[in-house]
Amino acid sequence: MKNNFYLFFYILFFLSCVNKTLISSIEQKPNFTINNMPYKSLNFFTGSGDIVVEIEKEKINLEFDIEKRDSFITLSFYLPLGLCVMNTKSLTKELWQISTQDTEFTINWNQKVNKIAGFTDFDLSIYEVLSIFTASIIYYDNIDYSKPDSFYSIGKINYLLWKEREILDKKSDIIIKFDNNSNEVTEICIKTKNEVLKFCSIKNKFAKEISYNSVKNNYFYVKYKNIKIKE
């Protein structure tokens, strides 16, 4: 009976310590410098890789290449054997041309891609899709990355949290994961009520893996294989 009492006492003491550690780690906002944040904007950029799109449990695997020179961008999608299934390019700063084997049309930069066959479940504009491809979508005037709402650590990994910031015209929570030793960002996650957007494998200030999931479990996943950047 006596041993059980001491065991119960030690468990309570341990839980109280864990609770205090968790609370203090969240409330403290130490001085820190985040390294390796993705580029805010790129004047010259070329890249290629793979993209997987799944809508209503139908999956398609494509390859892509993208090129950006100042404000003009081209983004093309190919079947694994090399056949181009969609070619898109900016005509002006507001107009975007989309070409497939069957049709060609021009839409506004801010028009939703759910108007395009094959992307009907994605509530994103052309501009937002391109911002996702280059990770520049994380930069908005209402986000001060030096002042997180919460901060906590698990082992060698630090987590920063910003609550209810406006991204994608929706209230979004932002979670940045970075290494405790190097302070280099390893993952950025943006969560809205119906979407989860992740930037992973961040190397040399560029996210090489990007995923977008909707509440219906429709998603696309981008993996860069080749990248050439000029700041």
DSSP 90-156: ESSSSEEEEE-SS-EEEEETTSBGGGSTT-TT---BHHHHHHHHTTGGG--TT--TTS-SEEEEETT
**Structural domain harbouring 158:** 44-230
- pLDDT of 212 > 80? The answer is yes
The band of 62, judged by pLDDT with boundaries at 50, 70 and 90, is: very high
33 located within any domain = no
210 located within any domain = yes
Q: What is the pLDDT of residue 20?
A: 34
35 located within any domain = no
Cα–Cα dist 210/79, whole Å: 20
Q: Which CATH number covers residue 175?
A: 2.50.20.10
Token pair in block for residue 7? 């065991």
26 located within any domain = no
pLDDT tens string 108-125: 878 777 655 555 556 778
pLDDT (mean) for 177-195:
84
Cα–Cα dist 143/69, whole Å: 27
Range among 31-35, 146-150, 165-169 rated most confident: 146-150
Read off φ and ψ for residue 125, nearest 5 degrees. Answer: -90, 165
| Residue reference for tokens 């119906």 | 194
State the maximum Cα–Cα separation within the chain, in Å, rounded to a whole number.
82
Range among 160-164, 201-205, 211-215, 222-226 rated most confident: 222-226
List beta partners, residue 60.
Answer: 53
7 located within any domain = no
List beta partners, residue 49.
Answer: 64, 224
34 located within any domain = no
118 located within any domain = yes
Amino acid at 105: F
163 located within any domain = yes
Q: What is the pLDDT of residue 134?
A: 76
| Residue reference for tokens 């998603």 | 219
Chain-centre distance of CA 195, in angstroms?
Answer: 11
How many distinct structural domains can be found in the chain? 1
State whether the Cα torsion 69-74-79-81 is positive or negative: negative
